Amino acid sequence: MIRSLFIALILATTLLTACGETEDKEFYSGKTISVYVGRPPGSGADLAVRSFVRFWQEHIPGRPTMVVKNVPGGAGSRVWNLAWDEKNPNDLEVFFSPVSGTAVIVREEGLRADLSKLPLLGALTSPNMTYARTERLESADDLPNVKGLTFGGQGPAHRFSVLGRLTLDILGVDYNSVTGFSGSSEVFNALRRKEVDIQTAPLNFYRFTVEPSVVETGEVIPLWYNPIINANGEIMPLEAAGDIPSFIDYYESVKGEAPAGELFEMYKWLLPNINGIVYAAFLPRGSTAEATQILSESFARVTQDEAYRAEEERMFGFNLPVVSSTDGAKILDDMANAPDAVRRLLNEYIQEAR
Amino acid sequence: MLAGLALVLSWPTFGYLLLGVFIGMWIGAVPGLGGVVGLVLLLPFTFSMDPVPAFALLMGLYAVTSTSDTISAILLGIPGSVASQATILDGYPLAKKGHAGRAFGAAYTVSAFGGVFGALLMAASLPFILPVIFAFGIPEFLMLGLLGLTMVGVLSGGAVGKGLIVGLLGLLLTTIGYAEATGVPRFNLHTEYLLDGLPIIPIALGLFGIPELLEMAVKNTSISRVKMADESRGGMLRGIKDVLKHRWLTIRSALVGTYVGVLPGLGGSIVDWIAYGHAVQSAKDKSQFGEGDIRGVIAPESANNASRAGALIPTVAFGIPGSLGAAILLSALVIKGLQPGPDMLTVNLGLTFSMIWDIAIANILAAGLLMLLSRQIAKIAFLPAHSVVPGVMVVLLMGAWVATSSMGDWWTCLCMAALGYVMKQGGWPRSPLILALVLGTLIENNYQLTMQLHDGLSWMYQRPIVVIIEVAILVTIFLAARGLTRPKSVRARKKKDIPSPSQSLMSFLLSAMLLAVFVWAFLNAKGFEDAATGEFPLAVLTLAIPLTLFVLIRDVRACRGGIKQAGGTAPAITAASLEWQLPASMRFFGYLLVMLATTYLAGQLVSLPLFVALYARRWGNFSWTMSLVYAAASLLLVWGLYAQVMNLRLYPSLLFD
């Protein structure tokens, strides 16, 4: 009798656990998840998120419908403020948008949200690189010796402007900085018109726009890519860069020594942070642990999905490096709690370009 | 080229093109939407399609939104999208005169022509277009922006001083939010909404649309102020004949549209204004512009469709998108695994030509279909006001909501509606504000970049294209000044533009308010730390403050005369409020404010149908049944179209979150 009761108890427990699991897995069945993106319809970030979401909904148990809603504003910070201010989280709202690392570090006006306190579902990064016109450079190695080149960038606090200027300053290049272009395409147009000599831009932009039109004709040469460093300070391999050296390798090859100094220390600190996360997805504060787990696991599965990876390769020319949730959380925490010295130095550096 | 045509005419490609045209016609007709929104909605469906049918669908949609957006521009005085802003200047007055059919006939004919002309011209221009694109550098863009700004004189009618102030106000409004050059926020009143600056669509809808709806509601008139029987005078055929009569203007405008569309960064938002300005400047008799001159419809409509083709070629052939819509098409190419660039002119030439044919055929199809429907559409102009106003108000407000999906869009729209109402009553031109909003950012950004890229002012005389544009600016200003000072036109204008006492009073109130705003902004801008942050707004305000003071003094004098004429201040105010129909107008704004408050409490799915029901029942005297049916239809529209199809984030209400 006792044995029968014991077996019945085990059976009941197993069945209940199974039911519970089924209920968890089916939580999203028949439901609609709103995915908020903080950029306008048709922007690069909007299209990238829409593409990801098409696959994401297939990987969530219960196959919910995911709809993308655009909430631009506050220079991209409104979407995070919405996540931060959400008072009645229902596990059906996801906030998936580009993260501006510099805005987080310098605590730009408008950003109220502390991203390190939001449940992170997953993150991707996107490498960037620097290239130059060849009119005054016979090879990439000539750069430190040429004077009066013009660097073109977006706003002074934009990560491409900051990284571009920093690398040129670390190398000791004599250049003029012109910032205030409204996007990578505008800088590139100015580069083609010979108004600008050097640009830092996303690697996919280089692959799709720059390489076929001006690199193959010899008008432009690649210089270096800014490496992605994980939260432990290790440089992540980047196959997509091909023969292009990382900035650190480039520096060593032209200067014959490892880079050093205050600016390089800032560069090293910034790399894992402003370069470490480019797209991130969060739930609002107070969302359930179950929803966080289901959505973060499914996010990770998408990044392994061959069909998604093929589409990503078509869109970007390579697969975006995935940021693990542990790394992502550490990066967000580091940015939110950046040392005062770093924050002050970065602010001053941005101020110089104004 | 013929291989491209064969690809388009093959099945199912042609079917997709037709589908794109239908969807594009519909999206373009709804104020606030437009080609970009349509492309984003359709893009995911093309992921699994072959390139040729996928682009037939996308191009079919994109090519025709600037044709069907004419409907709301002409019928309601509301720009259906950015591309139709200049069309309202003469299109709406034509509808008011009962000539909506004529305006449609002309608009659709030139739209079809412009689209086909632009596509073919671009195909022919491929070998030499790249040097043209790169001949225009940053200083040239700056000068083009300034040339566009000289249009303020054209758009001001007889009130040039007021037009200039409105233009300066528009330029000042573009400085709200982060300065592109320095990344420092300006005039944002510490609100998140204003950090990115004011979106143009809620401004245009509020400034033009709501005051017209208010007038219809208060006066209880149809859009057309003449009877339906008189419409035969202005039928579609007459519009087509107008195009034949003004064929050279049509061709010149299409040329302007095609080549301005090619220039990255300028694109569709400015092209209709440039074409409109050209129409006015090249006309011998300018007296009817702004009052319902068919040339004011022909020029912008020919240009805006041609610009779509203009923007396509550099996108496909060189990877340089001329506009946001073109940038989305570029993404679609990339997703299909195609690389923009030389391959599109060699290996994939068939696809490139198929896209050109898509534009040409879509424009012809849309024009034909819309002409078939026009007769029925034009009848809306004769419907009683109360049956039109609530429905259009819902569409207008949701159109404004598309901008950023925040209550800021509605507040912007309502503030601009109040400004538009005051400007209308005070005899202030409204169009310069929109023109300045379109050009302000372009001018400031290119000015800042020019000053960083070039030492001193040598660029002003060392660059041939800059010099040519400078001459064009000087000629435009000279002609405008001569037109203003010619004795004959001065007499005519004085006779026509003598303001009524009530107009002077409203004008005085507005100029006093604007002066206060300008002074506040000046003091604020003086506090900006970086020179590049404050330079542009300070330059604008340095001109705006004395000019507004001058107009204010003139208004004070005119007010004094009006008060004397009315026999005292109190009778003058009473007479003015009667003329403004102040109680009814305030009641209208009251309805809108209640609707806004209800949205905060209960969200749009409650507030908008409630507004429709209350308006229809209490103001329109509809039966309860009719009012509720109307409200239910608006609920279906907001929920079905905006929340479900477009996936807009509606306001999370306090009560029903």
**All residues at 6 or more sequence positions from B230 whose CB lies less than 8 Å from its CB, including other chains:** B98
Would you say A40 and A72 are in contact if contact means Cβ atoms under 8 Å apart?
yes
Closest CA to A151 of A127, A132, A170, A171: A132
Angle between helices B295-318 and B100-125 (to 10 degrees): 30
Q: What is the mean pLDDT of residues B85-108?
A: 87
CB proximity B643 to A under 8 Å? no
CB atoms < 10 A from the CB of A84, how many?
Answer: 19
Answer yes or no: do B336 and A314 touch at CB < 8 A.
yes
Give strand ranges (E) for chain A.
32-37, 65-70, 93-98, 120-124, 128-133, 149-153, 175-179, 198-202, 220-226, 279-282, 322-323
How many CB atoms are closer than 10 A to CB B645? 10
On whether residue A348 sits in a domain, the answer given is no
Query: Can you tell me the distance from the alpha carbon of B62 to that of B85, in angstroms, rounded to the nearest whole number?
Result: 17
Note whether A354 contacts B530, CB cutoff 8 Å: yes
Q: Crossing angle of helices B51-68/B324-335, nearest 10°?
A: 170
CB contact under 8 A, A42 and B449: no
Place of tokens 């979150």: B657
Please calculate the CA angle B16-B19-B21 and round it to the nearest 5 degrees. Answer: 110
Q: By C-alpha distance, which of B335, B274, B277, B328 is closest to B306?
A: B274
Listed by start position, the domains of chain B span 2-498, 499-580, 582-645
User: How far is Cα A181 from Cα B360, in angstroms, rounded to an integer?
Assistant: 34
**B580 token code pair:** 């403004």
The residue with tokens 């802003």 is B85
Q: Residue B597: pLDDT band by 50, 70, 90 thresholds?
A: very high
Hey, what amino acid is at B394? Answer: V
Q: Is it the case that residue B77 has pLDDT exceeding 60?
A: yes
Query: CA-CA distance, B321 to A50, in Å (whole number)?
Result: 21
**Taking CA atoms, what residue in B is nearest to A76?**
B196
State whether the Cα torsion B544-B545-B547-B553 is positive or negative.
Answer: positive
Q: Model's pTM, two decimal places?
A: 0.82
Average of pLDDT values for B307-325? Answer: 74
Give pLDDT, residue A9: 54
**How close is the nearest chain B Cα to the Cα of A346, in Å?**
14
Give the pLDDT band (50/70/90) at residue B612: very high
Distance CA B261, CA B132 (A): 12
pLDDT in tens, B129-143: 777 778 888 898 888
Instruction: Indicate if the alpha-carbon torsion angle B402, B406, B411, B416 is positive or negative.
Output: negative
Cross-chain Cβ contact B195/A155 below 8 Å: no
Out of A42, A209, A212, closest to residue B39 by CB: A42
Flag whether A33 is in a domain: yes
> Does residue A6 lie within any of the structural domains?
no
- Out of B134, B340, B405, closest to residue A70 by CB: B405
Alpha-helix residue ranges (DSSP H) falling in B379-500: 385-401, 407-426, 431-453, 459-462, 464-485, 487-497
Interface residue of A47, A85, A175 to substitute, partner B, most B CBs within 10 Å? A47
Identify whether residues A59 and A181 lie together within a single domain.
Answer: no
Q: What is the 3-state secondary structure (H, E, C) of B171-199?
A: HHHCCCEECCCCCCEECCCCCCHHHHCCC
Point out the residue among B180, B408, B647 whose CB comes nearest to the CB of A69: B647
Are residues A267 and A136 part of one domain?
A: yes
Question: Distance between CA atoms of B517 and B509, rounded to whole angstroms?
Answer: 12
Give the CA dihedral B243, B246, B247, B252, nearest 10 degrees: -120
**Nearest partner of B354 among B58, B122, B62, B52, judged by Cα:** B52
Distance of CA B73 to the CA centre of its chain: 9
Residue A7's pLDDT is: 53
CB contact under 8 A, B319 and A213: yes
Among A185, A193, A350, the residue with its CB nearest the CB of B321 is A185
Do A147 and A227 reside in the same domain of the chain?
A: yes
Please report how many Cα atoms fall inside a 13 Å half-sphere around the Cα of residue B106, on the Cβ side.
33
pLDDT at B657 over 70: no
Domain contains A13: no
* Residue A148 and residue A53 share a domain: no
Q: B515 touching A, CB under 8 A?
A: no
Specify whether A265 is located in the same domain as A158.
Answer: yes
B322 or A152, which is more confident?
A152
Residue B82 has what pLDDT?
66
CATH assignment at residue A142 = 3.40.190.10
B469: which 2 tokens?
């544009």
pLDDT of residue A354: 72
Identify which of B177, B180, B336 has the shortest CB distance to residue A182.
Answer: B180
Residue A182: other Cβ atoms inside 10 A: 15
pLDDT digits (tens, 9 = 90+) for B282-309: 888 877 888 889 999 999 989 988 887 7
Query: What is the rounded distance in angstroms from the CA atom of residue A81 to the CA atom of residue B408?
Result: 15
pLDDT of residue B98: 83
- Owner of token pair 């040392």: A339
Q: Which of residues 532-591 of B touch A (CB under 8 A)?
A: 532-533
**Mean pLDDT confidence for B487-516:** 74
- Residues in B closer than 8 angstroms to A179, CB to CB, are 181, 452
| Separation between Cα atoms, residue B91 and residue B505, nearest integer Å | 29
b (16+ CB within 10 A) / e for B218-251:
beeebbbebeeeebeebbbebbbbbbeebeebbb
Return the bridge partners of A176, or none.
A150
B262-to-B131, B141, B503 alpha-carbon distances in Å: 12, 13, 43
Tokens of B397: 């407000």
What pLDDT score does B417 carry?
94
**Which residue, B140, B231, B631, B43, is CA-closest to A49?**
B43
Q: Do A212 and B453 touch (CB under 8 A)?
A: no
CA nearest to B532 within chain A? A354
Q: How far is B432 from chain A (nearest CA, A)?
A: 24
Residue B555: which of B515, B522, B585, B518 has the closest Cα? B515
Q: How far apart are the first and last CA of chain A?
A: 84
> CB distance from B452 to chain A under 8 Å?
yes
- The count of residues in chain A is 354
Helix axis angle for B324-335 and A44-59, nearest 10°, is 40
**A354 to chain B, closest Cα gap in Å:** 5
C-alpha A332 chain-centroid distance: 12
Q: What's the confidence (pLDDT) of residue A17? A: 45
Q: Which of B191, B183, B294 is nearest to B242 (CA)?
A: B294
Q: Is the same domain home to A135 and A243?
A: yes
CA B70 to chain A, closest CA, distance in angstroms equals 23
CA–CA distance, A302 with A291 (Å, rounded to integer): 16
Reported confidence tier of residue B654, pLDDT bands at 50, 70, 90? confident
Question: Does the pLDDT at position B636 exceed 90?
Answer: yes
Q: Quick check: B343 and A212 CB within 8 A?
A: yes
**Exposed e or buried b for every residue in B555-566, given b needs 16+ CB within 10 A?**
beebbeebbeeb
Q: Residues with Cβ < 8 Å from B613, sequence gap 6 or more?
A: B627, B628, B630, B631
DSSP label of A246: B
Each residue's pLDDT, cut to its tens digit, for chain A (354 residues) gives 455 555 555 555 544 444 444 445 578 888 889 999 988 877 778 888 888 998 999 999 988 989 888 888 777 888 888 888 888 888 899 999 988 888 788 777 777 888 888 999 998 888 899 999 998 888 888 888 888 899 999 888 888 999 999 999 999 999 999 988 888 888 998 998 899 999 999 888 888 788 888 888 889 999 999 988 776 777 777 888 888 999 999 999 998 888 888 888 888 888 888 888 889 999 998 899 999 999 999 999 998 999 888 888 877 778 888 888 888 888 888 888 888 888 888 888 888 877
A-to-B residue pairs, Cβ atoms closer than 8 angstroms: 151
Question: What are residue A60's phi and psi, to 5 degrees?
Answer: -90, 125
| Within a domain: A353 | no
Amino acid at B533: T
Of A232, A256, A274, the domain-final residue: A274
Domain boundary among A274, A289, A304: A274
DSSP B459-493: HHHH-HHHHHHHHHHHHHHHHHHHHHH-HHHHHHH
Q: Are strands A175-179 and A149-153 parallel, antiparallel or unpaired?
A: parallel
Together in a domain, A162 and A111: no
Number of domains in chain A: 2
Asked if A251 and A298 sit in the same domain, the reply is no
Are the C-beta atoms of residues B272 and B142 closer than 8 Å to each other?
no
Same domain assignment for residues A249 and A288: no
Q: Do A212 and B192 touch (CB under 8 A)?
A: no
From the list A71, A77, A311, the residue facing B649 with the nearest CB is A71
Q: DSSP code of B604?
A: H
Split at pLDDT 50, 70, 90, the class of B233 is low
Within a domain: A197: yes
Residue A344 belongs to some domain of the structure = no
Integer CA distances (angstroms), A312 to A25, A301, A318, A321, in order = 27, 14, 7, 11
Whether A200 and A211 share a structural domain: yes
> What's the mean pLDDT when you consider all of chain B?
84
- Contact A189/B264, CB-based, under 8 Å? yes
> Is the dihedral angle over the CA atoms B555, B561, B565, B570 positive or is it negative?
positive
Burial of A292 (0-12, 13-18, 19+ CB in 10 A): middle
Whether residue A260 sits in one domain with residue A188:
yes
Structural domain contains residue A12: no
Q: What is the ipTM of this complex?
A: 0.79
Q: Minimum mean pLDDT among B7-11, B205-209, B391-395, B418-422: which range?
A: B7-11
Cβ atoms within 10 Å of A352's Cβ, excluding its own: 11
CATH for A43: 3.40.190.150
CB contact under 8 A, A73 and B406: yes
B462 contacts chain A (CB < 8 A): no
Domain carrying residue A316 = 26-125+276-339
**Residue after which a domain boundary falls, among A274, A293, A325:** A274
B328 touches chain A (CB under 8 A): yes
Looking at the structure, do residues A288 and A173 belong to the same domain, yes or no?
A: no
Token code pair at residue B519: 């002074």
Phi, psi torsion values for A151, nearest 5 degrees: -95, 130
Distance from A252 to chain B by nearest Cα, in Å?
Answer: 31
Euclidean distance between CA atoms A195 and A188, whole angstroms: 10
